[in-house]
Amino acid sequence: MGILELAIITIVKILIVLTLVLLTVAYLVYFERKISAWIQNRIGPNRVGYLGLLQPFADVLKLLLKEDIVPTVSNHPLHALAPMIALFVAFSTYAVIPMGPTITLFGWQIPLAVADINMGILYVLAITSLGVYAITFAGWSSGSKYSLLGGIRSSAQMISYEISMGFSVGGVVLLASSLRPIAIVEAQSGLMWNAFIQPIGFITFLVAAFAETNRLPFDLPEAEPELVGGYHTEYSSMKFAAFFLAEYANMIISSALIVTLYLGGWQIPFIERLNLPVGLTVALQVGAFCFKLAVLLFFFIWVRWSIPRFRYDQLMSLGWKVMFPLSLLNIIWVAILIMVFKI
Amino acid sequence: MNLYNIIFYLFAAITLVSAFFVVTTRNVIYSAFNLLLTFFGVAGIYVLLGADFLAVVQIIVYVGGILILLLFGVMLTNKIVNVQIRTGATQILPATIAVGAFSGILISLLVNTEWKKVGTALPGASTTANLGMLMMNEYILIFELLGILLLVALIGAATIARK
């Protein structure tokens, strides 16, 4: 495979993934509103298109046409930069998520991930740690106390939960003895899903994912009763939409990461015993990945509309005094599994 | 000039230009933001040299940890205590002499060192396994000592914060 072909394949993969993510975000917002409506015994959006299915496009158009208001006291360059960083972080993490097995197309071996790099999992952790900048810059540059408080809360929260997230990933990496996402998925063949082998790590990662994406019950950075809108109080029009987009894109990336690390990725247990044709197997496996992703996204929305918000001190003591020791315990558990039971 | 050189000079340019702005800009926030680009440029060069683990760790530790804490401190003190933090030029003469002497040492080292070229091939599939082996076998003492150093720093910070 020459460098030109490699570039073309990569660009095509990037375009496909980007389109898929944007479409998923649009309909995720729709489903968030629909599911919240069902939970609260309402009907939800039903005016635009059949069953309100065109609502996301109406929303995007509305946001695009709105006036972009920048406060005079704000720091203009950083105020404009913050939403861009948020979007960059949200989209570039998708590069390493494997959505299916390696396929052979036109004589080329194509892995169904944009980039198959050795440091995949560390790359995700590194890029997500940049997300703090978007929120801190947004909060500081707006020149408003609500924005600043939201930004500070958010960065403190993200830094705290990043630690338990990193330690939970440690257990997965130990078992797969590789940092490559594809190798991690392959290590979970059969029913050796990490969610079953190391349930404590699964729970700590899940909780940390909720905190990292600033979703309820941990949405302190934008707690409406106290902070108006949090770090994006002073944003309007497309810049606000960028933060909104980034939040939902982050939800998808967290779910995709949980699927890859703990739920066996694209694998369907024991599908090889059915002796299906290769094409059908691959299609089913990609379908399985999407199904697991959808279930987790539903879980995210379900939790948001069922559990009340934590208080800030509760959030911090949960992060440092419960989740962090639990993730350390998980590493010890995995080490025992490897040393004593030779998994 | 091949593709490799183009990429190298691109990252080198990013590193140097942003490092220049880190030093010259008056606003500490802009300085910190440019430092972010400098770290990125260095990480890019690490990747180009096949040290992918080092590059990722560079971003996690410096960009995701140290710089954000720095920014935190500046932003908080700046807004809450209402002190304008700006950098200025003071002690120009001693600074010039010190910098001149230091860069003289660096350049003389650069010229006098016999640079060994250890093959141009990139290291194999996994760089982390070898690194881990080295750290846990050959350099175990240094590794443990560094751990203790960090622990001492942590306890010290907690003690100061309690006062």
Is residue B121 one of the residues assigned to a domain?
yes
* Residue B99, domain extent: 92-162
Q: Are residues B71 and B122 both part of a single domain? A: no
How far, rounded to the nearest angstrom, does the alpha carbon of residue A168 sit from its chain's CA centroid? 16
Contact between A78 and B33 using a beta-carbon 8 Å cutoff: yes
Is residue B41 one of the residues assigned to a domain?
yes
Q: How far is CA B151 from CA A170, A324, B147, in A?
A: 20, 17, 6
Which residue among B52, B79, B126 sits closest to A148, beta carbon to beta carbon? B79
- End of a domain among B49, B76, B103? B76
Alpha helices in chain A (DSSP H): 3-39, 55-65, 76-92, 120-141, 145-176, 181-186, 194-197, 199-212, 224-227, 237-262, 278-304, 312-317, 324-340
Which residue among A130, A148, A179 sits closest to B128, beta carbon to beta carbon? A179
Does residue A283 contact residue A324 with C-beta atoms inside 8 Å? no
Distance from CA of B53 to the nearest CA of A (A): 7
Q: Are residues B58 and B122 both part of a single domain? A: no
Put simply, whether A173 touches B (Cβ < 8 Å) is no
Put simply, whether A117 touches B (Cβ < 8 Å) is yes
Contact between A133 and B36 using a beta-carbon 8 Å cutoff: yes
Is residue B136 one of the residues assigned to a domain?
yes
Q: Which residues of A touch B52 (CB under 8 A)?
A: 117-119
Report residue B120's pLDDT band, with 50, 70 and 90 as the boundaries: low
Residue B16 has pLDDT above 90, yes or no: yes
Q: Are residues B157 and B97 both part of a single domain? A: yes
Residue A341 has pLDDT above 70, yes or no: yes
Neighbour count for residue A280 (Cβ, 10 Å): 11
Q: Give the pLDDT confidence of B84-108 residue by residue, as tens digits.
A: 656 667 788 898 999 999 999 999 9
- pTM recorded for the entire structure: 0.84
Q: Are residues B56 and B111 both part of a single domain? A: no
Distance from CA of A304 to the nearest CA of B (A): 28
Q: Are residues B155 and B96 both part of a single domain? A: yes
Question: What's residue A141's pLDDT?
Answer: 81
Which residue among A125, A136, A178 sits closest to B68, beta carbon to beta carbon? A136
Identify the residue whose tokens are 């990013």. Answer: B14
Residue A36 has pLDDT above 80, yes or no: yes
Q: Which residues of A touch B79 (CB under 8 A)?
A: 140, 148
Structurally, how many domains does chain B consist of?
2
Residue B17 has pLDDT above 90, yes or no: yes
The pairing of strands A103-105 and A108-110 is: antiparallel
Contact between A133 and B68 using a beta-carbon 8 Å cutoff: yes
CATH number at residue B11: 1.20.120.1200
Does residue A122 contact residue A180 with C-beta atoms inside 8 Å? no
Is residue B85 one of the residues assigned to a domain?
no
Question: What's residue B83's pLDDT?
Answer: 56
Interface test with B, best of A74, A81, A116, A118 (most B CBs within 10 A): A118
Question: What's residue B124's pLDDT?
Answer: 60
Q: Are residues B153 and B100 both part of a single domain? A: yes
Is residue B18 one of the residues assigned to a domain?
yes
Contact between A129 and B126 using a beta-carbon 8 Å cutoff: no
Residue A124 has pLDDT above 60, yes or no: yes
Report residue B1's pLDDT band, with 50, 70 and 90 as the boundaries: low
Report residue A218's pLDDT band, with 50, 70 and 90 as the boundaries: confident
Q: DSSP character for A274?
A: G
Contact between B68 and A152 using a beta-carbon 8 Å cutoff: no
Question: What's residue A59's pLDDT?
Answer: 83
Share above pLDDT 90 across residues of chain B, in percent, rounded to a whole number: 27
Which positions 127-156 of B are in contact with A (Cβ < 8 Å)?
Answer: 127-128
Question: What's residue B87's pLDDT?
Answer: 62
Which residues are CB-contacts of A331 (< 8 A; sequence separation ≥ 6)?
Answer: A167, A170, A171, A174, A201
Most confident of A45-54, A120-129, B56-65, B102-111: B102-111
Report residue A213's pLDDT band, with 50, 70 and 90 as the boundaries: confident
Report residue A329's pLDDT band, with 50, 70 and 90 as the boundaries: very high
Is residue B23 one of the residues assigned to a domain?
yes
Q: Name the least confident of A31-35, A87-91, A96-100.
A: A96-100
Report residue A78's pLDDT band, with 50, 70 and 90 as the boundaries: confident
Residue A156 has pLDDT above 70, yes or no: yes
